Structure formats: structure tokens, C-alpha cells
Amino acid sequence: MTAEPSTAAREPAGPTATLATAPGGLPLLGHAWHLRFRPLRFLDSLRGRGDLVALRLGPVQGYLVNQPRLVHELLVVRHQEFTKTGSPLWETVRILVGNGLGTSEGETHMRQRRSLQPLFHPHRMDHYARVMTAVAGERSAAWRDGQRLRVDAEMYRIAATALARCLYSVQLPDDAVREITVHLPVAFAGVGKRAALPVPWLHALPTRGNRAYRTAVRSLHALVAQLVEDRRHDPTPSPDLLAALLAARDERTGRPLSEQQIHDEVMTILLAGTDTTASLLAWTLHLLGAHPDVDRRLHAELADELGGRPPTLQDLPRLGLLRRVVAEALRLYPPAWLTPRRAATDTQLGGHRIPEGAFVFYSPYALHRQPGHHPRPNDFDPDRPEQELAYSGTGHAFLPYGAGPHKCLGNTFSLAQVHLAVATILLRWRLRPEPSHTVRPRAFTTLTPGPLPMHAELRAR
């Protein structure tokens, strides 16, 4: 739990930050076109321009935070002044998932967070880890030597199936898993489109895409309602996520969570826990395929430590290279690549006035590639000192899961799944890049590699 900042802590963090203005604004649109259609190139162009960069997003004032110290001020010191409420992204997410942990604010958020912390207690993580390893093993066992795989699709299937089984471990029907893997990406993509272009009448038109989105959302809500109802009336003891949600209590009243909150939290877990995990898995395997020397070293570490058996949660502390490989993938390609906040009142950041209603963005993608914090920032180097990936006391130079009261509660769950799935796959398979394919990062709701064809090679026993 993160403590509320004291009054003293609310003073500006250090000396006044440098303020610059982004070049290249277009008439009427300002910088919104660049941020929508060339986001990574645009963010790269602003690196080094200033600690705080002023933008125009149509008629709205915006700012990009380029300095880790200011990110700390934004997310920790002044978190009550910079909120999710009013941001097109978070308002669109709220329409889909309700007022779950990912979208709530203030005291409601802190109360929900404390109620949900038991979901990720270490004794439950052991169960989740066994599910994660089993799912990765089952899926990869179906591959054929020499097969050309769509690794992005395979990782989505692994992430969604593992999360579904962790949610509901008692005889989860195969068709329920299929519904999740079919409808969730459609809903997630729809959120991105509606956040990027928040024009309600446009999304009400009877187009194929809008119909598919509405069908996906209806199907997911119906499935979640059915799973919650079934789990509530199933007397079988289980350590799954739904059982933990049903057992959770509101700390203020001592009463169980309401039906609506349980529904909203399950929707939040599905939305937040699948796409981001699948993206990180795909990026990690892409980077290993592009660096066969690191792949060989990692396979040797896994073979030495595991001796051919499936990995467990208890193995992970000994797998140092695996941890560094995943950390480097997170540094280079953080799934949550750009996150907005909105000024709830006239306030300041880095000594500069921020007007009420202004949007303030921070980009883990851009922050993770600053040469002052990460030498050779564009290189994949899992041997870089681990302290480069830690909180330095002067700000947040590495924050793939956010910071402060809204830091992702499920980050340990997601990282465990990535570590266990990568270890399970690499013990048996080497994934080689498709020579004719160029990977181009796609920055939309999450940062993904897009289609990722690779060739599976069975390792010698």
C-alpha cells in the first residue's frame, strides 16, 4: 500500500524544470496527428528538448513529461491533482470495465486496492504459477519442428488461456476460453480506436467494426456474469482469482464486494492482464530470436538450473539471465508505452503552472531510452547493470508498471507468467526469425510487434 504524501512532500520536486514547446504543430489539430499516426517517431523527436514539453491536442493544452524526477512528482507527490478522470483513454476503458481498480480514483481506489491485495498473496501465486507453466507447456507441445508460427497469436492464446484458468480453475469450459481469445482482442482494439477518436456518433454507426466491438463487449460481459454466478454456487474449494474476489471484504464495512464490483474487477483483470502480457512475451521471444548468443546462454542457464523439468515459481530467483532478458524487453518495449493524466485543478509540475483540464503524458517507452539513464539505450543488452533498471531516488527512469497509488497491482502476476512461459518454451524450442519479415513496433493501446512470424526448431535433448 502506498501512503498518502504529507503536506511537506507536495512542494515542487527540486529545481524548476526546463520547459520547451514541441515543434511541428498542425492547424486545428496541433500535435494530435503526430501522436496518433507517428507516435514513437514523435516521442523520439522530443527526447532532450526539455524536462516538460508543451503540446497542443486540438483545442486542449497538453504536456509530455521527459524527466524521471517529474514523473515521480506526477504519479506520487501530486497524484491527487493529476487524475485519470476525463482522459479519453480512461473514460473509454471505464465504459467497458466499469469502476474497477484500473479506473477508480481517490479513497475508493485505495479501498479497492487494499481489498484486492489478497488476490496476489504469495500462497495464491504458487497455484497461479502451476497453471501458467502448464498452459505454456500444453500450447508449445502442439508445435511441430520446423513449423512457421505466428508467435504474436500463440502468445496471446497462452496469456489468455492462463489468465482464464487462473480466474476460474474448476472445469473451465473450452468454449469459454475460446470466447475470451476471440472477443477480448476485438474489445481491446475498440477501446484504442474510441480513445484515439472520442467522437461518440462515429462509433454508433452500423459499421462492421462497430458491430464487432458491440458483439465482443456483450459476449464478454455475459461470460463474466456467468462465470461469477457459477463460481458463487460451486462449493468446491479453489485458490483461483474468482474465489479470492468472492472472499474479499470491503475494509470499511467488512461486507463482501458487491456483484457489480466483482464483475468490474473481473473485466478489469481480463482487459489489463492479457494484451500486455502477450505483448511482452512476443517481444521477449523476438529479441531472443534476433540475438542467438543470448538465446544460447539462456537455454544453458535453464538446462543447468532446471535439468529438463518444468520451471516453478521457486526457481525464478536463481534464473538471473532470464530476469535480465525480460527486464530488457520491458525497457525497450513497455506494453503501456504512453499513459495520460488530466489536471483536476490548476496546479504545477516542476515549478511550471499546469492549468485545470490540461493533459499530462508520460511515456515509459521514451523514458526507458534516455541515454542519461540507460547508456546505449536502443541496444538489447541483458548484461547491463541491474541498478539501471531500479528506482534511483531521483525519479523513475524505469517504470513499466507505473508508480505511486496507481501502480499496477498485478505486475508480479504478469511477470511470473512471462518468466515461466519463456522458460517453458525455451527449454524445448528455439524460435528463429522469419528472414523476409521486418518487425515494426505498433503503438496503439499497447506497444506490440504486430504480426510476428518465427520458425520453431526443436532443441536437441
SS (H, E, C) the chain: CCCCCCCHHHCCCCCCCCEEECCCCECCCECHHHHHHCHHHHHHHHCCCCCEEEEEECCEEEEEECCHHHHHHHHHHCCCCEECCCCHHHHHHHHHHCCCCCCCCHHHHHHHHHHHHHHHCHHHHHHHHHHHHHHHHHHHHCCCCCCEEEHHHHHHHHHHHHHHHHHCCCCCCHHHHHHHHHHHHHHHHHHHHHHHCCCHHHHCCCCHHHHHHHHHHHHHHHHHHHHHHHHHCCCCCCCCHHHHHHHCECCCCCCECCHHHHHHHHHHHHHHHHHHHHHHHHHHHHHHHHCHHHHHHHHHHHHHHHCCCCCCHHHHHHCHHHHHHHHHHHHHCCCCCCEEEEECCCEEECCEEECCCCEEEECHHHHCCCCCCCCCCCCCCCCCCHHHHCCCCCCCCCCCCCCHHHCCCCHHHHHHHHHHHHHHHHHHEEEEECCCCCCCCEECCCEECCCCEEEEEECCC
Q: Does residue 408 have a known ligand-binding role?
A: yes
**Residue 308: exposed, middle, or buried by beta-carbon count in 10 A (0-12, 13-18, 19+)?**
exposed
Measured distance CA(98)–CA(320) in Å, rounded: 39
Residue ranges at the known binding site: 408
Q: Which residues are annotated as a binding site for heme?
A: 408
